[in-house]
Amino acid sequence: MRQLTLPWKIPILVVAVVAAAFHYYCAGFGSPEPRTFRGLHLSMLLPFVYLLYPAWKKSPRHRPSVIDLLAAALCLVASLYTVFYADRLNQRFVGFHPVRPEEVVLGGLLSIAVIEACRRSISKWFAVTVGFALIYLMTCQYWPGMFHYKTFTLDRAVEILYLPNDEGIFGFLMGISADILYIYILFAAVLLQTGAGDFLIEFAGWAAGWARGGAAKIAVISSALYGTVSGSTVANVYATGSFTIPLMKRSGYTAKQSAAIETVAGIGGQIMPPIMGAGSFIMSEITGVPYFTIIKVAIIVLFIVAGLSFVDTSNWHPYLPENTGEFGHFGMSGIMMGAAIIYFAYIGFDTAATTAQEARDPQRDVPAGIIGALVISTVLYVAMAAVMTGMVSYTKLDVAAPVAVALDEHPSLFWLGLPVKVGAIIGMTSVILMSILGQPRIFMAMSRDGLLPKQLQKVHPGYHTPHVGTLVTGLVAVFFAGIFPIDILGELVSIGILLAFTAVCAGVLILRYTMPEAARPFRVPFAPLVCTAGVLMCLGLTLFLPHDTWVRLAVWTGIGFAVYFGYGHWNSRLRTAASR
């Protein structure tokens, strides 16, 4: 962009002030009819491109050239032509009324001027793309095969681009620019000049500047904060990009990466209430909670809050449907079977124990984290089930997508369908990935002990992860997910977890008596009572699972014994050391 000197600054400043005042007036008191408004909008702004952006690197940098002045005058005349003859142009029909010679000249020159303005201010490739489209429009009659189209004369092309009120140069996109985008950009400029914008950017720098990739995170947070007051993607990119793009480039990002991050940040700030996006981003960074987890919980809470207004308490009667005569079909046996089947939903709380080394006070923080997460999840589970069964009768929810059924019963909640589906996909994906994340590490530990082949302990030289174990785990997971129904897998996972927790509870109690001198950084309070209750509850739930589940468990356990006695027992390092 040129750095204009006197006397060129004065007329441009006057026109800029007039343009801003005109658009503010139209925003507050109403605008002229569309063609007139769009013509005036283009006549005020398009000449600026030629006055402020040089054509080439060797063009004058402190004043416009003669060619630039002529091009600006052409843009002004061609735009004002549509304003002065707005009444006649509004009454004409495209393809019926003839195109006047002066309209062909002005329209053709204005089209070329717009393309050149895009080349100067946006991108040469953007201009090349648009130019190629226009060339094709004029020459499509000569193209072979599927690219051939009927003849487009110059008059017809100019008529489409220059004279219509709902397409072409003065189409609806120009209306959006005049009615909305320009006002938002002016507002962003006010924020920057008054210092409010600096405050938002400085706050974003304080919130994320210290973190890894801080410059990019500053772009995201500052765009989100701007979005709370501007609501415009263009205004966000304009207001924050002038600061964050150079900052990212200085931090090592390429020009394309910086532009892409700022573009995505500007757009993302408008998808949902931007302050929520910034708050969630900061919350995720400070607490270490994955951003996907925050999204999942936010969508669950959104469904609960939105669905409360549609709860019909009559759907809760009878609160406990009577048993149909078949074990597990409603009644108390149905409750216990349901509790046993969905037990797999509580998998993962124990993984908080792996963060003990990162906690300030592990003996206090880790148990509190596990119990707190358990309580919060249970409350969300119960609230979700209560709202869903209140929105629609439980008899309609025995389907693969019960939440979708509940939303379909209330058409006014159609807007919630997409967020819930996205949340379900994110939730299932993240849970599956987190569930299988530990298995390759278990394989690696077992392999180091000699219980599994040594290939499973290989670590990738670049990513430093057990890639062989990850590949094996992924292939096994994909195989079983594709072969077995989800209800069977859920039952099998639940009985496995219940028996594992039974073993843990029993093991803690046994070790209290067999190894009382062992160091115990974490001590279970009231161990005899807690461990006994845990064993009884876990075993009790397994008794309510279907008989087929026990058969599958026996088969799966048999496979495990076969692997151990066929390989692990003979290659165990512990056994080898003991034999020496």
Arithmetic mean of pLDDT, 454-470? 84
Domain range for 171 is 9-178
pLDDT for 530 beyond 80: yes
Work out the number of other CB atoms within 10 angstroms of the CB of residue 8. Answer: 15
Same domain for 217 and 168: no
Instruction: Give the pLDDT confidence score for residue 40 in this predicted structure.
Output: 92
Last-in-domain residue among 151, 178, 205: 178
Instruction: Give 136's contacts (C-beta < 8 A, 6+ positions apart).
Output: 143, 147
Residue 195 lies in a domain: no
81 confidence band (pLDDT: 50, 70, 90): very high
Report percent pLDDT > 70 for the chain: 81
Alpha-carbon distance of 356 to 199, in angstroms, equals: 38
**Mean pLDDT over the full length of the chain:** 79
DSSP letter string, 173-212: HHHHIIIIIHHHHHHHHHHHHHTHHHHHHHHHHHHHTTST
Crossing angle of helices 274-287 and 291-308, in 10° steps, is: 130
Same domain for 219 and 151: no
Arithmetic mean of pLDDT, 95-108? 87
Hey, what amino acid is at 463?
A: Y
Among candidates 323, 531, 352, 565, which has minimal Cα distance to 438?
352
Higher-pLDDT residue of 231, 219: 219
Number of domains within the chain: 2
Same domain for 220 and 168: no
Residue 75 lies in a domain: yes
Contacts 24+ apart (CB under 8 A), 522-526: 522/362, 522/363, 522/366, 522/367
Residue 326 lies in a domain: no
pLDDT for 45 beyond 60: yes
Residue 500 lies in a domain: no
pLDDT for 266 beyond 70: no
Alpha-carbon distance of 384 to 389, in angstroms, equals: 9
Residue 277 lies in a domain: yes
Is the CB of residue 217 less than 8 Å from the CB of residue 208?
A: yes
Question: What's the predicted TM-score (pTM) here?
Answer: 0.48
Same domain for 75 and 159: yes
Alpha-carbon distance of 549 to 553, in angstroms, equals: 6
Arithmetic mean of pLDDT, 481-488? 82
Burial class (CB in 10 A: 0-12, 13-18, 19+), 159: buried
Residue 106 lies in a domain: yes
Query: Which DSSP letter does residue 568 get?
Result: I
Arithmetic mean of pLDDT, 224-233? 56
357 confidence band (pLDDT: 50, 70, 90): low
Could you tell me the maximum CA-CA distance found in the chain, to the nearest angstrom?
A: 105
Last-in-domain residue among 287, 310, 325: 287
Q: Is 450 left (phi over 0), alpha (psi -120 to 50) or beta?
A: left
Among candidates 51, 44, 46, which has minimal Cα distance to 1?
51
Alpha-carbon distance of 531 to 504, in angstroms, equals: 9
Instruction: Give the pLDDT confidence score for residue 238 in this predicted structure.
Output: 57
pLDDT digits (tens, 9 = 90+) for 129-164: 888 888 887 788 888 877 787 767 788 888 888 888
Alpha-carbon distance of 409 to 222, in angstroms, equals: 40
Same domain for 18 and 156: yes
Same domain for 157 and 243: no
Arithmetic mean of pLDDT, 412-433? 74
277 confidence band (pLDDT: 50, 70, 90): very low
Residue 199 lies in a domain: no
Last-in-domain residue among 263, 287, 311: 287
Same domain for 77 and 31: yes
Alpha-carbon distance of 137 to 149, in angstroms, equals: 9
Alpha-carbon distance of 521 to 363, in angstroms, equals: 7
Same domain for 165 and 95: yes
Same domain for 155 and 13: yes
Which residue is listed with tokens 């869903």? 388
Work out the number of other CB atoms within 10 angstroms of the CB of residue 59. Answer: 15
Residues 67-99: b if buried by 16+ CB within 10 A, e if exposed: ebeebbebbbebbebbbebbeebeebeeeeeeb
Residue 273 lies in a domain: yes
Instruction: Give 498's contacts (C-beta < 8 A, 6+ positions apart).
Output: 340, 343, 538, 539, 541, 542
Instruction: Give the pLDDT confidence score for residue 237 in this predicted structure.
Output: 64
Same domain for 164 and 20: yes
DSSP letter string, 505-550: HHHHHHHHHH-TTS--SS--TTHHHHHHHHHHHHHHHHTTS-HHHH
Range name among 355-359, 361-365, 428-432 with the lowest pLDDT average: 355-359
Same domain for 254 and 169: no
210 confidence band (pLDDT: 50, 70, 90): low
Instruction: Give 30's contacts (C-beta < 8 A, 6+ positions apart).
Output: none
Same domain for 246 and 100: no
Arithmetic mean of pLDDT, 13-36? 87
